[in-house]
Chain A
Amino acid sequence: MRGLQLTDDQLREMYDWLRLSRAFEERLALLNRQGKLMGGIYSGIGQEAITVGTVYGLRREDFICPLHRDLGAFLVKGVAPGVLMAQVFGKRDGLSRGKDSYLHAGDTTLGIFGNTSMLGSNLPVACGLAYGFKLRRQDHVVLAYFGEGAANYGDVHEAMNFAAVNRLALVFVCENNLYAYSTPFEKAFAIPEVAVRAQAYGFPGVDVYGNDLLRVHRVAQEAITRARRGQGPTLIECKTFRWHGHSEHDRASYRTQEELIEWRARDPIPQFERYLEEKGLIDEAGRREVTARVERKIDEAVAFAEASPWPEGPEALEHVYAD
């Protein structure tokens, strides 16, 4: 694809990340059905091209501020699968040491900010990270994610304006999966797409088909380059669809079967596989090899999480304050 200059190895690597993200989340769904997980599991299955496409190629110092459905972003940015699995299990070796669930913890050494459940409230924090880089004259970038549902939360407006005024090296990634829990896009917006709002803040808004890995990656790289050059933020709206419900308990009866069938046919993984096949980078044997490798990693991650100890009760009292 024009302008990307990805090597064959990089393309294979991106494919691995896609597959690992998918396999990880499929395993979570399975473990959940088996009653082995607690709390909400917010599947990003069907949306992996966005996280892999945007995060791949970032520097370690660059920051991502992912949302609850962006598990793959944590993997690509460097969290070990075992640690992430232990986090989901609520074990002591998780990012949060059992203090909070799922993707609320981050790791500053890896450039990951973990948000709260107040979706969209990560965007002001992303502004602070980017403002810090600006103060230090560093050209690191911050990628801040939100769903179209969160787009109507006030913090999103405040953050986009703040980022624009201060020309921050920030890329806003809107994952528009058409439903905010049960609420369809049309019930929450009187405009055809989120990206048009960027114009009102004074920076470019780009609408991209979010299930096309390389297209997402190219658009993200353009925005990242712009940001590193001090040209300010970009809003990228990635149109996609979540296959599962809002969380695993939700049967998502509010949407039609036709819709789901249509979007499952737009699975980002086979699309990218076809591209790799055309380039002669993968065949059936190669695909099986990736499957085996990915499954082995997931097995190891689950084994690590299962072996990780539960925190002791009194640990609940730790880490409220820094001393």
Chain B
Amino acid sequence: MPTEAPAGAAAGEVTYLEAIRQALWEEMERDPAVFCLGEDIGVYGGAFQITKGLFEHFGEERVLDTPISESCIVGVATGASLIGFRPVVEMQFGDFISCAFDQVVNQAATLRYRYGGRQSVPLVIRCPCGAGVHGGLYHSQLPEAWFVHRPGLKVVAPATPYDAKGLLKAAIRDDNPVLYFEHKGLYRRIKGPVGDADTLVPLGVAEVKRPGSDLTLVTYGAMVHPALEAATRLADAEGVETEVIDLRTLAPMDRETVLASVRKTSKLCIVHEASRTCGVGAEIAAFIAEEAFDDLDGAIVRVTTPDVHLAPFSPPLEEYILPNTDKIVAALTKLAAY
């Protein structure tokens, strides 16, 4: 890697953005079947500079600048995956994946099934997503639930540099289509340690970020950070201990970890930045109601963006709708009172 890049785990903390870049770099070095494609990812280094330096090192064929053709980009990844490649698509903004919806949900997602299990589709679609960056309606969306609803796809949403790197490396080595939702708001804001070239974070495994015996809070992506702040604040102020679970992978979901925590605490709060109805939280609430109804001592509480478009542009509007630490503290306080 270029000298300006932190040289792996030993070098200490890196940004979330740098963690993603390291994962791409290391996997491309390790496996010639891995290549990247997307809009402006080559010479320019990507809209967020995540692929910066890859073009110079790996060449224009493995860091492919494409026309603005999202559907075709995903189709190309699917085609190449059929003959042994492991393509990594960059959607310039996750919002744009709606332009490729058919290629994702009908072409890639169903391929193994309709081939009777005789074909794998190893590809990754990186989707810079998330609000809180004054991006307006088409540069802020969090469309993960659409894809969680579609069997055949894996969906991940890392919250930390460590997971961003380890999950992306695991996603690239996975034999299924994986949608990787990286939160734009974390790119340069969050720093932390990362694993080395051989460290993977397995898909489908949640992490308990903070143990607690009174409440369970399930979240993922950028919301992990305000959730942890809220848990700390509540513990300090009220002595209420909240267990915070970062799902990390949304499909397949680590239901066991959530279930075990709810059985312990008997109270569940779900936090996500995406809008409410049929969001990931709805599924968590439903399966907990099915599996742990007798364990619950209170209503399941959700803190989400209401059912409005993500995200209104003016700061007062955006701040009004997005979940934040205060809103989470309020919900946890209410839940603790049950």
Point out residues on A near B: beta carbons under 8 Å.
94-100, 104-108, 113-114, 116, 118, 121, 123-135, 154-155, 158-159, 161-162, 165, 318-323
B67 touches A154 (CB 8 A): no
B77 touches A128 (CB 8 A): yes
Closest chain A residue, CB of each to CB of B65? A165
B79 touches A321 (CB 8 A): no
B83 cross-chain contacts in A, Cβ below 8 A:
108, 129, 132-133
Q: Give a binary string over B53-97; 1 marks a CB under 8 Å from any A CB, 0 the rest.
A: 000000001101011010111111111111111010000000000
Chain B nearest CB: distance from A273 CB in Å?
37
Q: Give a binary string over B161-200; 1 marks a CB under 8 Å from any A CB, 0 the rest.
A: 0000000000000011000000000000000000000000
Point out residues on B near A: beta carbons under 8 Å.
35, 61-62, 64, 66-67, 69, 71-85, 87, 102-103, 106-107, 110, 112-122, 151-152, 154, 175-176, 252
The verdict on A105 contacting B67 (CB below 8 Å), with A128-B75, A135-B85 known, is no
B175 touches A320 (CB 8 A): no
Supply 22 A–B pairs (Cβ within 8 Å), ascending by A. Answer: A95-B118, A100-B110, A104-B114, A107-B118, A108-B83, A113-B82, A114-B114, A116-B107, A124-B103, A128-B75, A128-B81, A129-B80, A131-B64, A135-B35, A135-B62, A155-B75, A158-B75, A159-B72, A159-B75, A318-B117, A319-B112, A319-B113
Q: How far is the CA of A71 from the CA of B173 in the complex (A)?
A: 35
Of the candidates B79, B116, B152, which one forms a contact with A124 in the assembled complex, judged by CB atoms under 8 Å apart? B79
A320 touches B76 (CB 8 A): no
Q: How far is the CA of A93 from the CA of B333 in the complex (A)?
A: 59
Q: How far is the CA of A132 from the CA of B103 in the complex (A)?
A: 18
A155 touches B85 (CB 8 A): no
Q: How far is the CA of A127 from the CA of B110 in the complex (A)?
A: 19
Q: How far is the CA of A118 from the CA of B122 in the complex (A)?
A: 21
B102 cross-chain contacts in A, Cβ below 8 A:
118, 121, 155
The verdict on A319 contacting B79 (CB below 8 Å), with A121-B107, A124-B72, A158-B67 known, is no
Of the candidates B107, B110, B252, which one forms a contact with A125 in the assembled complex, judged by CB atoms under 8 Å apart? B107
Chain A nearest CB: distance from B309 CB in Å?
24
Q: How far is the CA of A165 from the CA of B175 in the complex (A)?
A: 29
A162 touches B116 (CB 8 A): no
Q: How far is the CA of A319 from the CA of B110 in the complex (A)?
A: 9
Closest chain B residue, CB of each to CB of A144? B79
B75 touches A124 (CB 8 A): yes
B116 touches A99 (CB 8 A): yes
The verdict on A106 contacting B115 (CB below 8 Å), with A320-B152, A321-B152 known, is yes
B114 touches A128 (CB 8 A): no
Interface centre among B66, B75, B79, B120 (most CB of A within 10 A): B79
Q: How far is the CA of A90 from the CA of B329 in the complex (A)?
A: 55
Chain B nearest CB: distance from A106 CB in Å?
6
Chain A nearest CB: distance from B115 CB in Å?
5
Of the candidates A94, A126, A155, A320, which one forms a contact with B112 in the assembled complex, judged by CB atoms under 8 Å apart? A320
Chain A nearest CB: distance from B112 CB in Å?
6
Of the candidates B73, B87, B120, which one forms a contact with A322 in the assembled complex, judged by CB atoms under 8 Å apart? B120
Chain B nearest CB: distance from A169 CB in Å?
13
Instruction: Given contacts A113-B79, A121-B106, A127-B72, list 13 more A-B pairs with CB under 8 A.
Output: A106-B115, A118-B106, A124-B74, A124-B103, A128-B79, A130-B79, A132-B79, A132-B85, A135-B62, A155-B103, A158-B69, A161-B69, A321-B152
